[in-house]
Amino acid sequence: MLKKIECFLNPSRLDRIKDELVKVGIEGMSVGEVKGFGRQRGYLEGEKINKAVKFLPKIKVEIVVDEGMVEKVIDTIKELCATKTIGAGKIFILPVEDAVRIRTAEVGKSAIY
């Protein structure tokens, strides 16, 4: 079964995450610049939090992998992004029902690998 790993991370770590994940064996990723806030309501560590919620710049990384690779990908991202301060990010793991490679019409795992 395929899983999608969707994470919201600090933009500064992107290049290292990409390089390390390729070493782990991922076959592709998509990245987007997004704005967002989490439990810290858009305030950085040490900043005084008032009523207004703010957006912070983040990157959204999406990777679809075989379920056997999920733990390795999560560990890699965790290791590279663990700042121990607020705003380090979140990782979500979603089930993927199916995938299709449009060029060849391959489906499932074959569409990814």
Partner 1 sequence: MREFNPWYMALKHLDEVAEKINLDPNIHNILKKPKRILTVSIPIRMDDGRIEVFTGFRVQHNITRGPAKGGIRYHPQVTLDEIKALAMLMTWKCAVVGIPYGGAKGGIICDPKRLSSGEIERLTRRYISEIISIIGPEKDIPAPDINTNPQIMAWIMDTYSMDKGYSVPGVVTGKPISIGGSLGRNTATARGVMFALMNTIKKLNLNFSQQKIAIQGFGNVGGNLARILQKENCKIIAVSDIKGGIYNPKGLDCFKVSEALEKTGSVTGFNNGEQITNKELLSLNCDILVPAAIENQITKENADKVRAKIIIEAANAPITPEADKILNEKGIFIVPDILANAGGVTVSYFEWVQGLQSYFWTEREVNLKLRDIMEKAFENVWRISQERKVDMRMAAYILAVSRVAEATRIRGLYP
Task: Map residue 56 onto helix, strand or coil.
Answer: strand
Q: Which is nearer to partner 1, 15 or 98 (CB)?
A: 98
Which C-beta is closer to partner 1: that of 74 or that of 99? 99
CB of 93 to partner 1, least distance (A): 17
CB of 62 to partner 1, least distance (A): 21
User: Are the beta carbons of 53 and 42 closer than 8 angstroms?
Assistant: yes
CA 64 to chain centroid, in Å, comes to: 10
Phi-psi region of 108 (alpha: psi -120 to 50; beta: other; left: phi over 0): left
Q: How far is the CB of 64 from partner 1 (least distance, A)?
A: 15
Residue pointed to by tokens 């733990």: 71
Residue (3 or 13) nearer to partner 1, CB = 3
Tokens found for residue 71: 């733990």
Query: Are the beta carbons of 6 and 94 closer than 8 angstroms?
Result: yes
Decide whether 50 or 104 has the Cβ nearer to partner 1: 104
- Nearest distance from residue 110's CB to partner 1, in Å? 5
Task: List residues binding partner 1 (CB under 8 A).
Answer: 1, 97-98, 104-110
